[in-house]
């Protein structure tokens, strides 16, 4: 793989050297399930993956839940035949229930089955980072974490982490084995991780990769009221309060401020939003979803974009700044 000009950082204490931006594959799981993104062409998805890898991105973040296996299968197809594969991170604990809705399961036997299935779909021998997707049911997080420890001991996964855990849950599972990475949601419109989680991870040396740094597309600069109104019926964002009033107006005002800063740097609002998230000293990498090859280049510039303090003041003006 060409490393291009994308620098790397160490992901916590894992020893993995990752590019500051990784490829997220939630949207390429397509529509037709509870948290789907509407229709998606698999060939576009594979093209986007190949373009990101050509540009030097060296890790992909996926999950068994995305399209209930579809995203992992597409990633597996994209990786087939590559001389050198990127790091592959995936997640467990969300299963397909009735009407393609999500069912949460953190029982040991279920997680061991999920890991085997993910390895098969991805076409790889070992998962570089395996993560608990959501800490539900809360009472079972110790059992779920112990299953990930077991998978690591068996050599099926190299590193283990958690996603969407709060600080108390993080501390509970750390009594069993160290948490190597955390994956929280973090963006200009979702800043709750700043309060406790990110400072804790920075102090403890826990690697952090953040998801939805562009607010699930809201901060790209391409999301308008008309476009939101035209989202597919099976796009989960139609139901999300951030895409509805009263939040929508303030979020679109934020995009205008991002655009002002983007113009200064000859880049896009989305790249500025990602660069803002990467400025936090606790954040090692940001997960960015690409649904087609032509979306890749505009955002990768965020990895090298140095925002000034004045830029940040201009972006955050008017922000309450502490999440919803």
C-alpha–C-alpha distance, residues 60 and 230, integer Å: 29
Q: In the annotation, is 35 catalytic?
A: no
Q: Of residues 35, 66, 87, 130, which has the active-site annotation? A: 66
Provide the 3-class DSSP secondary structure of residue 81.
Answer: coil
Choose among 126, 106, 129, 4: nearest CA to 55: 4
Q: Is the dihedral of CA 148, 149, 155, 159 positive or negative?
A: positive
d(CA 189, CA 191): 6
CB-based contact 67:36 (threshold 8 Å)? yes
Closest of 278, 279, 290, 301 to residue 209, by C-alpha: 278
CA within 13 Å, CB half, 53: 20
Q: Which of 187, 165, 189, 200 is nearest to 288 (CA)?
A: 187
What gap in Å lies between CA 178 and CA 230, rounded to an integer? 45
Q: How far apart are CA 251 and CA 247, in angstroms?
A: 6
- Contact between 31 and 238 under an 8 Å Cβ cutoff? The reply is no
Tokens representing 43? 């060939």
Run of H or E residues at 91: strand 87-92
Question: CA 54 to CA 43: how far, in whole Å?
Answer: 16
Please identify every residue annotated as catalytic: 66
């Amino acid at each position: 793989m060409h490393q291009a000009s994308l620098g790397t950082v160490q992901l916590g204490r894992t020893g993995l050297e990752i590019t500051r931006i990784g490829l997220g594959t939630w949207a390429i799981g397509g529509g037709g399930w509870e948290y789907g993104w509407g229709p998606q062409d698999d060939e576009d998805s594979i093209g986007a993956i190949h373009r990101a890898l050509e540009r030097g991105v060296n890790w992909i973040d996926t999950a068994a839940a995305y399209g209930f296996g579809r995203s992992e299968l597409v990633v597996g197809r994209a990786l087939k035949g590559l001389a050198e594969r990127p790091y592959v991170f995936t997640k467990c604990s969300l299963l397909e229930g009735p009407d393609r809705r999500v069912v949460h399961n953190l029982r040991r036997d279920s997680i061991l089955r999920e890991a085997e299935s993910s390895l098969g779909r991805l076409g790889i021998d070992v998962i570089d980072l395996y993560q608990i997707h959501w800490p539900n049911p809360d009472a079972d997080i110790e059992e779920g974490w112990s299953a990930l420890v077991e998978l690591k001991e068996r050599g099926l996964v190299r590193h283990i982490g958690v996603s969407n855990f709060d600080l108390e849950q993080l501390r509970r599972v750390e009594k069993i084995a160290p948490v190597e990475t955390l994956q929280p949601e973090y963006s200009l419109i979702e800043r709750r991780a700043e309060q406790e989680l990110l400072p804790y991870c920075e102090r403890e040396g826990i690697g952090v990769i953040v998801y939805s740094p562009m607010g699930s597309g809201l901060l790209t600069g391409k999301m308008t009221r008309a476009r939101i109104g035209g989202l597919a019926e099976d796009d989960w964002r139609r139901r999300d309060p951030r895409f509805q009033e009263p939040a929508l107006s303030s979020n679109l005002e934020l995009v205008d401020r991002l655009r002002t800063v983007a113009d200064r740097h000859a880049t896009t609002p989305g790249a500025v939003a990602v660069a803002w998230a990467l400025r936090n000293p606790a954040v090692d990498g940001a997960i960015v979803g690409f649904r087609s090859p032509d979306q890749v280049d505009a955002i990768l510039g965020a990895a090298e974009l140095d925002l000034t303090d004045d830029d940040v003041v201009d972006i955050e003006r008017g922000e309450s700044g502490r999440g919803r």
